[in-house]
Structure 1
Amino acid sequence: MKRKTIIVLVAAVAVALTLVAFYANSGIQSPKQEEKFRIAKVVRRDLGASVQATGIVKAMVGAEVKVGARTPGKVVNLPINVGDRVEQGQVIATIEQDDLIARVRLQEAILAEVKAEHSRLAKDFERDKQLHETKSISVQRYDLTEALHEIARARVLKAQAELDVAKAQLSYATVVAPIKGTVASVNTVQGETVTTGLTAPTFIKIIDLDRLEVLAYVDENDVGNVKVGQEASFTVAAHPSTDFKGRITSIYPSATIQDNVVYYLTSVSVDNREGKLMPDMTANVSIFLDRRKGVLTVPNQTVQREGSKKYVYVLHNETSEKRYVSTGWKDSSYTEILDGLKDGETVTIGDPGRK
């Protein structure tokens, strides 16, 4: 009998040890651990407040340029590829020039001809002007000579303007980078014919990656605390261990509504000298505010949203009560409670009544 009792006790101890090891190694919390994890007290603490927002890395105005053809023709040289760095004024494409060069030469010849005619008529006009002053020629002849001189002068101006246009068209055949930056797209190939006009496609896009910003979507409940000049930091998925630094540069006055929540776009300056950031990356932004002392707080994960309202679950007599709250500042861990909770109350992470 004693032997059986000993065996039972040994077996019970073994089972207990096995359960302890199982909870420890599997990551599953024991009932007491789960309760400790799910429950938090409403307490007063100093809060180094920050506003959390999600944003998108974007090129600043003027930092992204789409280049199209200003003269039609076949692309005879395309010395760049996507990802290449280019400088302002660098040749990035050349369009066939034979017809354009011929037009320039034709206009130069026309200009030379009308200039010669103008020079001859100018001499005739000066001669007849002197004769007219001494009344040696008729008024009709003087008027005719003066008119021919003015017509010749107008022809010179017209020919000069047409030559300038022809030279401009020839210059357009050499496509240069309007800004320094990185080639983001090339939508043509050497030998392809490009067109001009309002509907003509862009065939090269350049982005200056040194001039980026983050457009952060700041909740309407937080935007009143955000000011131009405040420091901010953000991370991106491509470099999760890097905290990029910046400052608030502007707050858009018009709202953006997503899923019935009102946001205000807020721009954050970016230092991208290392070239780690690219447009359209998602950024997790922290905007640093002042520090508040002795404010009521709860863990961030206890605060839930219902449309534009926020609520928590309050534990009372082993039952949970859904209670709407007004929130203030928050940092990466805690949220300030302005109304709806009292110091010492117990809140839960999620609804403990849900299975």
Structure 2
Amino acid sequence: MTTQTESDLSSIVESASPKRHSKLRYVAIAVLLIAAVAGWYFWSQKSQTREVGPTYQTAPLSKGSISLTVTATGNLEPTNEVTVGSELSGTTEEVYVDTNDEVVKGQPLAKLDPTNLEQRIRSSKATVKSARARVVQAQATLKETEAALERMKELRQLSNGRLPSQAEYDSAVAAADRARADLEVAEAAVGEAEATVQINESDLSKMVIKSPIDGVVLTRAIEPGQTVAASFQAPELFVIAENLQNMKLLVTVAEADIGRLDKGQKAAFNVDAWPGRRYTAEVIKVAFGSTVTDNVVTYETELSVSNEDLSLRPGMTATADIQVASAENVFLVSNAALRFDPKAAAAAVAPKDKGSLMQNLQPMGRRFWDRDDMAGKGEDGPGQGLGRIWVLKDGQPQELQVKVGLTDGARTEVSSPDLQEGMPIILHLQQ
């Protein structure tokens, strides 16, 4: 019985031995495959790192000038513009000037038909003569009544008051008073008639419309034969601009920019009529009063403009750049240099399969939490007025803290004791 049992065990062991050797072979093959894959992975990563190194685009640090400007749009206007009208109604007889004509102060511009007014003058002069005749008549009447009153006074003295009667004496006194009043009325009528003559003669001189200033005729709104009605409001017949060699530019400035503007600041502007030309101007007035249009608050600003060649015309639309701050001979860098971040740039151009073999085998969710640059762990940004740029030194970016100054949207003023002209400033990482 024992001999049979030992024989069975021996047969079982012999039958199991080939199976165990087969499993060992499979394990060895699997280990070799894993080692081969790992070796290939590390070789490819090393080769890729060796072949694709970081390349930075740089620009040499240089000095220059920079200015901060406020842009505003407005229209050109004459420094002094006068609207010429007529105080009188009438029919236009002649027009002596046209638009663009240069005129001097007192020069006739147009003439109204004076026929009716001349007739009124003749009539008023006749009224003066009639009033003067009534004055002479009143003087004679007064003289007569005063003489009669004197005789009654003498008679009263001679008769010891018995003659004339009191009623007759009072009547003589009243007659003298009435004659004296009639004379004053006649004299006043003469003055009124003479004043009417003067008014009519003054109106006659106004029938010729004259220029009140030296300047240029901008508009003309009257033609010969046209009726001018000045009953309620003086009609606008001419618009004259004074000295177009000096003009003003009225621009509207936004509420956010008005605090930067001040009298005396320089500006440059262009107009559509001369797109390749820049004109200079100077701020002469910044309004305190605001204008609200569609809930947008703006302030009117006046600039003086020289127009010696008369290339600018009233009403032209101009876009002005007002220089509110400037700096000379300062270090300037491209705004791209202030935005450059080596970590972000490297992450943007890094291969997607970069990392260890185990990291590549891990699920994406677990790998996310292993990142060094995850949100919340980055460095705080520079404070207000401070920034950082990166200098390429020995092939590697080196951080440099700088103080930020003026910017024009493309370049920014920077300052630091460590800055040197010609330093290679990194703009971005080339892919």
Please state which band the TM-score falls in when normalised by the shorter chain.
Answer: 0.5 to 0.7
CA contact (8 A) 2:95 2:110 kept: yes
CA contact (8 A) 1:212 1:269 kept: yes
1:251 equivalent among 282, 286, 291: 286
Hey, what does 1:192 align to over in structure 2? 226
SS at 1:59 equivalent:
strand
1:168 counterpart = 2:199: no
Hey, what does 1:273 align to over in structure 2? 308
The whole-number CA distance in structure 1 between the counterparts of 2:136 and 2:427 is 101
Hey, what does 1:56 align to over in structure 2? 75
Hey, what does 1:207 align to over in structure 2? 241
Residue identity opposite 2:77 in structure 1: K
Cα 1:74/1:336, change in 2 over 3 Å: farther
Hey, what does 2:377 align to over in structure 1? none
Cα 1:238/1:122, change in 2 over 3 Å: farther
Hey, what does 1:11 align to over in structure 2? none
Hey, what does 2:17 align to over in structure 1? none
The alpha carbon displacement at 1:142 in A equals: 2.2
The alpha carbon displacement at 1:200 in A equals: 6.5
Cα 1:117/1:184, change in 2 over 3 Å: same
Structure 1 or 2: more helix by fraction: 2
The whole-number CA distance in structure 1 between the counterparts of 2:109 and 2:202 is 18
1:229 counterpart = 2:264: yes
The alpha carbon displacement at 1:201 in A equals: 4.5
Structure of greater Rg: 2
TM-score, normalised by the number of residues in structure 2: 0.55
Hey, what does 1:75 align to over in structure 2? 92
The whole-number CA distance in structure 2 between the counterparts of 1:278 and 1:245 is 15
Hey, what does 2:175 align to over in structure 1? 141
Residue identity opposite 2:72 in structure 1: A
Residue identity opposite 2:176 in structure 1: Y
The alpha carbon displacement at 1:280 in A equals: 1.4
- What are the superposed Cα offsets for residues 111-142 of structure 1, whole Å, 9 maximum, x if unpaired? 12212332453466578669868956832122
The alpha carbon displacement at 1:241 in A equals: 4.6
For the aligned residues, what is the CA RMSD? 4.2
TM-score, normalised by the number of residues in structure 1: 0.65
Cα 1:199/1:155, change in 2 over 3 Å: closer
Identity percentage of aligned residues: 27
The whole-number CA distance in structure 2 between the counterparts of 1:287 and 1:214 is 12
Cα 1:188/1:126, change in 2 over 3 Å: same
1:104 equivalent among 115, 121, 125: 121
The alpha carbon displacement at 1:292 in A equals: 4.8
Hey, what does 1:24 align to over in structure 2? none
- What are the superposed Cα offsets for residues 77-98 of structure 1, whole Å, 9 maximum, x if unpaired? 1122221111121111111111
Runs of 5+ unmatched residues, structure 1? 1-35, 303-312, 320-325, 338-343, 348-355
The whole-number CA distance in structure 2 between the counterparts of 1:119 and 1:331 is 90
1:152 counterpart = 2:169: no
Cα 1:220/1:334, change in 2 over 3 Å: farther
The alpha carbon displacement at 1:103 in A equals: 0.9
Cα 1:202/1:298, change in 2 over 3 Å: farther
Return 196-205 or 87-96, whichever deviates more: 196-205
SS at 2:209 equivalent:
strand
Residue identity opposite 1:81 in structure 2: D
Hey, what does 1:180 align to over in structure 2? 214
Hey, what does 1:305 align to over in structure 2? none
CA contact (8 A) 2:222 2:237 kept: yes
Cα 1:329/1:151, change in 2 over 3 Å: farther
Hey, what does 2:104 align to over in structure 1? 87
SS at 1:213 equivalent:
strand
Return 125-134 or 189-198, whichever deviates more: 125-134
